[in-house]
Structure 1
Amino acid sequence: MSHTIHGVSVGIERHHQQMMVVMKASGTLTHEDYQSITPMLIGALRAIVQPKVKILVDITDFEGWELRAAWDDFRLGMKMGSNIDKIAIYGHKSWQDMAAQIGAWFIKGERRAFEKYEDAIEWLAASES
C-alpha cells in the first residue's frame, strides 16, 4: 500500500541574527492543506516582532497545487503580502523563477529564487542597502 506525502511545514529560525519564517512544501498541495497551513502561518508571522518578515520557502520536494489550492495560495499571499520584506524560494525546479515573478503580483517585498540553500539564507539575512 502506498501513500503520497503532501503538505507544508512552518517554523521560525534564526540565521545571522535575523528571525525568519521557514516553510517547506512537499508533494501536491490541496485545499485541505491550506485549511491547516493558514492558521499556522499567520501564527508564525505574528511571533516575529520585526515589522517586515523574511521568508524562506523550500520547494525541493514540491510538485504543485490542485486548482483550488492554487487559489488558496493566491488569497493567502494577498492577505499577508504587505507584511513581507523578502521571500527566498529555494529549490531545483525550472519553474521557481516563474513562481518568484508571479509572487510580485501580490507580495510587496523582494522575491528571488535560489538553487543553493546557503545563498538563499545569505540573501535573506543581508541588510537592506
Structure 2
Amino acid sequence: MKRHGLHIGIERTKTRFYISMVIVGKLDHHDYEVITPMFDDALKGLDERIVDVFIDASELEGFSARALWDDFKLGIAHSHQFRRIAFYGRHDWQDYAARVANWFTGGEVKYFADADTARAWLNESENESDSE
C-alpha cells in the first residue's frame, strides 16, 4: 500500500501570512479539490505580496497530469500574493520544477535540499531579500 496525504498549516500575523505544506505520495486532481478552496479562502482580499510558503516535498512522488494543470492554475490565480515559496525536496526533478514555477509566480520560488535552510530563507526579512 502506497502512502498518500497532505498536511496544510496556515498562520497569519499582522505583517505575515505563512502557509506550510507536507506532501506524501503522488498528488492528483482530488488533492487540488481540497487545496484550491483552502488557498482561495485564506488568501481572499490580500493585495500585497505577503505570503510565504514552505513545501515539504521530500516524500512527494509526483503529480498526475491533471494535478499539474491544477497547480499551474492555482499558482497563476495567486501569483501576485506570494513573496517566497521554499520547496524542500530530495529529487533533481523537484529543483527543475521549482525553477519552472518561478516563471509563473510573482514571488520567488527556490528549491532546497535541506529543510532548515529553506525555513531560514523564508524567515529572512523582506528588506534583506530585496537587497539580494
Bigger Cα displacement from structure 2, 65-74 vs 4-13: 4-13
TM-score, normalising length: structure 1 = 0.84
* Percent identical residues: 40
In 1, Cα distance between the equivalents of 2:72 and 2:65?
A: 11
Contact 2:57 2:89 in 1 (8 A): yes
Q: State the partner residue of 2:9.
A: 11
Return the match for 1:126 from 94, 115, 124.
124
Q: Which runs of 4+ in 1 moved over 6 A?
A: none
Return the match for 2:74 from 73, 76, 92.
76
Q: State the partner residue of 2:32.
A: 34
Q: Which has the larger share of helix?
A: 2
Which blocks of at least 5 consecutive residues in structure 1 are unaligned?
Answer: none
Return the match for 1:56 from 40, 54, 57.
54
Q: State the partner residue of 2:43.
A: 45
What CA deviation, in whole Å up to 9, does each residue of 1:67-88 have, x standing for no partner? 1111111111111111000010
In the comparison of the two structures, how many residue pairs are matched? 125
Call closer, same or farther: CA 1:46–1:23 in 2, change over 3 Å. Answer: farther
TM-score, normalising length: structure 2 = 0.82
SS of corresponding position for 2:103: coil
Bigger Cα displacement from structure 2, 5-14 vs 118-127: 5-14
